Amino acid sequence: MHDLLNDKPIKLRRSQIRLPLGLRSLLVGLFLCGLAVLLIALDGQGKLGSARAFVQQGLAPVAQVLTGIRGQVDAFAMAPFGDAAIQARLQELERENSRLADQLLRLEQAQVENVFLRQQLQIQREHPWTLLGAEVTVRSPDAGRRVIVIARGTRDGLAPGMAVISQLPGGPTALIGIVEAAGPRTAEVLLITDISSQISARVMNEGRSALGMMQGQWQNGSRLRLNQVDRGLPLKQGASVMTAGMTAALNLPLDLASVPSNIPVGVIEEVRTAENYQYADLRPFVDPDQVRYVWVILNQDD
């Protein structure tokens, strides 16, 4: 038994001492703090200069590589926001802005046209007229003539001599001029306030009709004058005046002689007499200088 034990020596296992985790962490922290204090002290004494230069020299290539990589990453990340991309985006936004502005303009124009169409329908319900709406595009720069240009012409059925009407808010539909000349797409309208405009008119008073010739007096504040009314038919201030439709029947040397009857024109403001006739100053229901949209009466024979 003793021999057997002597042949196989017994090896005793060295026991391992394990420190608690918290204690090990404390020891490592203390070691690092001590190392840091030591390095600071050595650096303060100037003993780490050569070591620092050696480390910096060794790390310089690594820093350069890392800087290059960062620059490439930044360039890649900012590629969508480069000058060319920004310019392209700006151009795209400008095109979109132009498109939206055009749509807004078309919408506003449609809304304006819708208002005028409703107004036209109301006028046609009240009068036996076939109307064609038109915008006023130009006003005559000639101070001696009262003429406007409208955006309708012969292609739309216009012809010289056709009556042109308009309406201001709160007032009746009234005559403002006569088509004087017409081109394919535009027409010139001689306003009733022009001194060369002469149209037959009728005044209804106490069940009797008084006829006269209406002439423009724009120099008197866009007024009209009713001439050659028989003194036997009394005129009164405030009486309404309408077209008589008899200009052509009077055989007057006028180029624009065909005007439908019963178109409202204005109201009498003042009456004067001279010899066997009466004269009346009229205020138009619609000041021709204020209109921006008009209607041309196409059915001139009614």
Residue-range domain boundaries for the chain: 83-121, 127-297
Output the pLDDT for position 273: 85
Better-predicted residue by pLDDT, 223 or 39 = 223
Six-digit token pair at 110?
A: 């449609």
Choosing among 2.30.40.10, 3.90.1170.40, 2.40.10.350, 1.10.10.10, the CATH entry for 127-297 is 2.40.10.350
Distance CA 146, CA 279 (A): 23
Distance CA 123, CA 90 (A): 49
CA torsion through residues 66, 68, 73, 78, sign? positive
Query: Do residues 281 and 225 lie in contact, with contact meaning Cβ atoms separated by under 8 Å?
Result: yes
Q: Which band of pLDDT confidence, cut at 50, 70 and 90, is reported for residue 4?
A: very low
Better-predicted residue by pLDDT, 114 or 190 = 190
**What contacts 195, CB < 8 A, 6 or more positions away?**
215, 216, 217, 218, 219
Distance CA 248, CA 255 (A): 9
Of the candidate ranges 64-68, 83-87, 111-115, 242-246, the one whose mean pLDDT is the lowest: 111-115
Output the pLDDT for position 1: 47
Centre a 10 Å sphere on the Cβ of residue 280 and count the other Cβ atoms it contains. Answer: 26
Amino acid at 255: D
Six-digit token pair at 174?
A: 């009234």
Q: Which band of pLDDT confidence, cut at 50, 70 and 90, is reported for residue 274?
A: confident
pLDDT tens profile 14-68: 555 566 766 767 776 777 777 666 667 666 666 666 666 666 666 667 667 677 7
What does each C-alpha distance from 23 to 28, 42, 113 come to in angstroms?
9, 28, 90
**Side-chain-side CA neighbours of residue 235 (13 Å):** 29
Element (H, E) at 42: helix 21-44
Distance CA 268, CA 244 (A): 16
Name beta bridge partners: 99: none
Query: What average pLDDT does the structure give for the chain?
Result: 78
